[in-house]
Amino acid sequence: MASSLGVVGFVGLNEFSFEMATKLLQAGYQVQAFECMRVESQSKLVWLATFESLDQVVRIDSRTLTKLESMIDGLIFFFSSLLADAVALVVFISNADQIDDVILANNGALEGLQKDAVFILQSSTLLPSDIKRLEKCFTGNFQLDIIDKNEAAYFVDAYIVKGVSEELNGKIMITSSGRSDATARAQPFLSAMCEKLYTFEGEVGAGSKINLVNELLEGIHLVASMEAMSLGSKAGIHPLIIYDIISNAAGNSWVFKNQVPQFLQGITKQHYLNTSIQKLGTVLDQAKSLTFPALLLSVAHQQLILGSSHIGEGEDASLIKACERMMGVNISAAMNVESYNPEQLASQITSSADSVNRIGFIGLGAMGFGMASHLLKSNFSVIGFDVYKPTQTRFSDIGGLIGNSPAEVSKDVDVLVIMVTNESQAENALFGDSGAISALPAGASIILSSTVSPGFVSQLERRLLNEGKDLKLVDAPVSGGVKKASLGTLTIIASGADEALKSTGLVLSALSEKLYVIKGGCGAGSVVKMVNQLLAGVHIASAAEAMAFGARLGLNTRILFDVITNRRGTSWMFENRVPHMLDNDYTPYSALDIFVKDLGIVSRECSSRRVPLHISTVAHQLFLLGSAGGWGRQDDAGVVKVYETITGVKVEGKLPLLKKETVLASLPSEWPVDPINDIQTLNQNSSKTLVVLDDDPTGTQTVHDIEVLTEWTVNSLTEQFKKAPKCFFILTNSRALSPEKATELIKDICQNLQAAADSVKNADYTVVLRGDSTLRGHFPEATDAASSVLGEMDAWIICPFFLQGGRYTIGDIHYVADSDKLVPAGDTEFAKDASFGYKSSNLREWVEEKTGGRVPASSVASISIQLLRKGGPEAVCERLCSLEKGSTCIVNAASDRDVAVFAAGMIKATSRHFFNMQAEMKGKRYLCRTAASFVSSRVGIVSKAPILPKDIGINKQRNGGLIVVGSYVPKTTKQVEELKLQCDQSLRSIEVSVAKLAMGSTEERAEEIIRAAEMADAYLRCRKDTLIMTSRELITGKTSSESLEINFKVSSALVEIVRKITIKPRYILAKGGITSSDIATKALEVKCAKIVGQAMAGVPLWQLGPESRHPGVPYIVFPGNVGDSNAVAELVKSWARPARLSSAKELLLSAEEGGYAIGAFNVYNLEGVEAVVSAAEEEQSPAILQIHPSSLKQGGIPLVACCIAAAEQASLQLCDFAQHVSQVPITVHFDHGTSKEDLVDALELGFDSVMVDGSHLSFKDNISYTKFISLLAHTKGMLVEAELGRLSGTEDDLTVEDYEAKLTDINQAQEFIDETGIDSLAVCIGNVHGKYPASGPSLKLDLLKDLHTLCSKKGVFVVLHGASGLSEELIKECIERGVRKFNVNTEVRKAYIDSLGSPKKDLVHVMASAKEAMKSVIAEKMHLFGSAGKA
């Protein structure tokens, strides 16, 4: 009886067939097997067996097939009857001719293939063009008649090999390619048949293309290995010693490791050589057809052809003989020399090594500093020198001694280590001015660890001998990189006289994990290092050629890299350097110019020793090209830029940016029924509580009316379970912890949950791990920890979709929306997180990456958007129930509806009572690691509008809001910049130094904390929203744990600052996950808060509980990765304390519309300010507090602050009897700014408007002066008033004589307004400052009317100075003719002075009397101007 998963047919059997069939059977499939045989000169497909279980699998070998030929007539069946139920057909063919014979012929492999079945083609010999030709038969106009044109089979090609890496050695790897729908359809079958599946979506033929790249690498590595063994043998080093050392060093490759032993033994014969020539010829043909210059490959091909021409077909026709005749080196003779063990020899020497008291060290570069610092840690006394003085200082800081010259560090040392870049630097360090040789004591030893030529070492030994000081030399080149240098785990290849080696043995041993001593005297070590560098250099260059060729072939280079690392084309350098190419990161860990030098040494040595090394020489030229291109100081992987520049390809392995609108529009329509109601019903029928373990507070960003706990004692959890909530959150803040601490924390919480649930009757729960939607956090540590307590799960569910944050998962790839683009998550700044960084955007690969390969990408299942939108919750339930126990499954989603559909399906899969007919399939247990969207869908929460301050009744609170920013993601930095820019007037910023908090002394840290807290208190008390932010320089540690420690110090400092703030803020906004968690739990002492909703999309709003330091205060948790650049600014503006109701412009617009005027009253002191405000409040009139430059000079900034505070106070004055806020609009104006300096200062003091008085200037200069200030003021949103004409009279000691007075010119007014961009025009129509003459005012009302007509067209308000002394009739006529602002000074000032004439008992009585006197005049003017009652 057929398996429920269906039948998979195999046509053609090869070395992989039975193993793959076995795997399919294990997965639950049935297998039909067929073989292609020649019958009567035609290919016939012969049925061999049907396998339904493992015990039926038998190996069908060639003898079995021979026996079958006699029964052939009885074994031939039509495929239509055998494959009627096949869900997939795997066809193996060995050559292009079989496409027609086996596949396309009548009764061929396609006959009877059912609709929607998957056709999987496997061939190791077909070229990409052959595969594309066959694919056309399945698509478009080329579709075969035997396939239904509407519902054709899905075509995928699969390249199958056995892996060679440590992880996949001997295991089946499949590389598949095809259209996205076809590869998705084939994925379950292909995954079941192999240990590792790589998928390329798009064109078919990817496996064949990868094979071309692999053949290129194998061929180059083969010839490079031959050259390496030839050069080493010629230099007198035993071939097996070279092999033993390099197979454990950076020059290793799979070819070197596995082929060189056979090569040395003469096992590799002519057939292998001819096959290699043929393969490389095929690759070269493909490269030529693509106009790709395969430089190294072409040389390798020619070398093999040359070698083939040197040997015949006899027993002597081996690859080693071909190599010997090409290179002129007798490798076989070198093999016959007695060998030895270099490691044993090193052990013997170091065991009897001389003691060393003092070491000199010249060259403290990246490698040298690591070596010297490790010697310090090993308790040697080390004195160092480097030409770069900061490095010397750094060495001194860690306890090293420093000298100012090579000679100075060489005095009284036992051993001198030279670790410089090249021969020239070594020469200068030893023999140059103040060189080491002159100061070295007799009998001292020198270790030369630089990579130099063997000839230089030999010559140096002779020169030292001639010095007559018994100086000893050890040739000791090193390998391993900077990290190993600092750990003392380098590979060192040493040579020299026995006495020299014995005197330096302890130093060499301290620096190395592997120490080899090479016989042959000084220079022998450099020979081995040279051979290693030959291979390493060629391997880097060949990696560049291979990856560029792969890019030209159209392959995804990141997947190509992953495949090759498991194929025979891999090498140590390929695996180490290609990631630099893929990341486009050429930070110089090892500079390109180093290989210009090292391969230059190889070129000189091969020339002097007469060994023709063609491929090494071409590699050298490639590095020279790179250096000539300006990339010499970049990482040596930058040699790939030579190919990128020549060919125009890009090796960088980034997924493409997608246009969001296009991608979302291309998806199927959403599931038509909103499942939220069903979810709510299902949850009502379940007693389970959803417990969300949130690794930072931002996970509450999609829920409302739910509680969040910041403690997890058994008692607190028991109290929650007693309430029987559908959901509650536990804030773990585990993302701020190390992996070890996070693991223990999750275990502790889960254990407490179990204990609490056990103590409450009928309590049951499901745990969800809410994590970051940009994939940062402790995965898989948190899931492992939870599973260890909660028990084995049926599957882990990964669902990072989060709409509000712009996170989409489509085609298993997780994207982050950036404007109108979808950026693969692995290419965002979030992936570069110092603690939780990653590279993979494909979630399957991300799981493999984060689990360190424990969960292979090929084993990760997925729920596609197609399944969600076409199958709905039932299909989800069925898919989840079919997962193997212990699986990992990712959920694709592009909308909240998608997540809701998944949640509904999962609830059905986890409910034991859903549809009794399927009870045995239910009761599944899943552990979900999700973003916030899943939680609200799982609980069945319907979203509601963002919460505003008025919704929770904090409008009456007067203190400023507190904003705390700790997040360092670039998005946050941009948001903070925009916040400061947009809220400049209302926001006060306090920047705390990260350097002082994390790296400074205890005293510096404490001072910085106290400073910030005291400033914040002052600002909040003054009702200013206050921003506390960490300085934006990002300081990271050398390791992720060090980075977490720095984060902790900064976060804990922010906690201390907030704890020291005594003023209760109107609201608190914390930016960043770790910051918001620490502020809530440690600074505010929150234990339980209510999630009220969201302050804006994706931004949770809590209300603090009664146990907290600020009960009831709104707490806004703003994630570091949410919102655009304006988001924080917009939120802060919407939550800002209401300031003055209107701007000056709004006051005048209202006056224009209402046909009245507003009084601008000059004030000089507190009494004047209070008089204006009190009159405005009583008369319910708008008003303007006006400050003249002379009064500003006397009252200073305190006078301005008094006016601003009074205006704000008036706008928020509470009328108790009405129980509402009575807002009297009052603004503050700077009057008669005749000095540019005064005006520029005034712009920064908080005025709402300014008057630019250039009336004393010529018309042209007045325009220039006014325009300058107008431009500056408008950038701050301030209204600008200016005067055209000139008033006579006296105001505040400023007198303008009658003969200087000038009326406003109507013709000039238009030009003046247009040029300056002013908002208000103070006109001169016969009005004066101060007292009018005895004859009374003589105003030109017709001129006023004309000026108003002009100004109204320009949107400019008309202002009249000198309102004191004007009759009621004139005032009304001026208002009728358009005056909207009157300046009032003289009458108010007179009332003040007159009040002083009556004797008072006390100064306070003087103040009260003055205030009342002024208030009376002001109130009268408000009635006169018509503004009373207009507030």
Q: CA 1071, 1074, 1080 angle in degrees (round to 5)?
A: 75
Contact 77/47 with Cβ under 8 angstroms? Answer: yes
Task: Retrieve residue 1029's tokens.
Answer: 């932010």
Count of CB atoms situated within 10 Å of the CB of 1000:
16
Element (H, E) at 1305: none
Catalytic residue among 196, 234, 529, 1024: 529
Q: In degrees, to the nearest 5, what angle opens at C-alpha 494 toward C-alphas 489 and 499?
A: 120
Nearest to 95 by CA among 122, 129, 136, 125: 125
What pairing do the DSSP bridges indicate for beta strands 795-799 and 926-930? parallel
- The tokens of 118 are what? 């998957």
Q: Do 59 and 14 touch, CB atoms closer than 8 A? A: no
Rounded to whole angstroms, how far apart are CA atoms 541 and 1422? 87
Biggest CA-to-CA distance, the chain = 140
Task: Give Cα 1130 distance to the centre of its chain.
Answer: 25
* The one-letter amino acid at 1328: V
Residue among 1033, 998, 999, 1028 nearest 1013 (CA): 1028
Q: Which residues contact 1045 (CB under 8 A, 6 or more apart)?
A: 1037
Integer-rounded Cα Rg, in Å, for the chain is: 42
Active-site residue 1260, yes or no?
A: no
Q: 862 in helix, strand or coil?
A: strand
Which tokens go with 722? Answer: 């007693």
Buried-state track 519-537, b at ≥16 Cβ within 10 A, e below 16: ebbbbbbbbbbbbbbbbbb
Q: Extract the tokens encoding 1229.
A: 């104006």
CB 16 within 8 A of CB 40: no
Residue of 1227, 1279, 1291 lying closest to 1251 (CA atoms): 1279
Signed CA dihedral, 941, 942, 946, 952: sign only: negative
Instruction: Return the exposure string of 1286-1305: e unless at least 16 CB atoms fall within 10 Å of the residue's CB, then b.
Output: bbbbebbebebeeeebebbb
Measured over the CA atoms of residue 1365, residue 1367, residue 1371 and residue 1377, the dihedral's sign is: negative
- Write down the residue that tokens 């002159």 correspond to: 438
Structure tokens at 994: 């990260």
Cβ atoms < 10 Å from Cβ of 115:
10
240's CB contacts (< 8 A; 6+ apart) are 264, 335, 339
Contacts of 591 (CB under 8 A, 6+ apart): 632, 633, 634, 635, 636
Query: What does DSSP say about strands 30-39 and 42-51: parallel, antiparallel, or unpaired?
Result: antiparallel
CA 244 to chain CA centroid, Å, is 42
Backbone angles phi, psi at 890, to 5 degrees: -100, 150
Q: In whole angstroms, give the CA distance from residue 390 to residue 360.
A: 18
Question: Contact at 8 Å (CB) between 349 and 517?
Answer: yes
Crossing angle for the helix pair 1403-1425 and 1368-1376, nearest 10 degrees? 50
Which residue is listed with tokens 């510096």? Answer: 1004
What DSSP designation does 1331 have?
P
Backbone angles phi, psi at 717, to 5 degrees: -70, -35
Structure tokens at 66: 């021979």
Catalytic machinery residues: 529
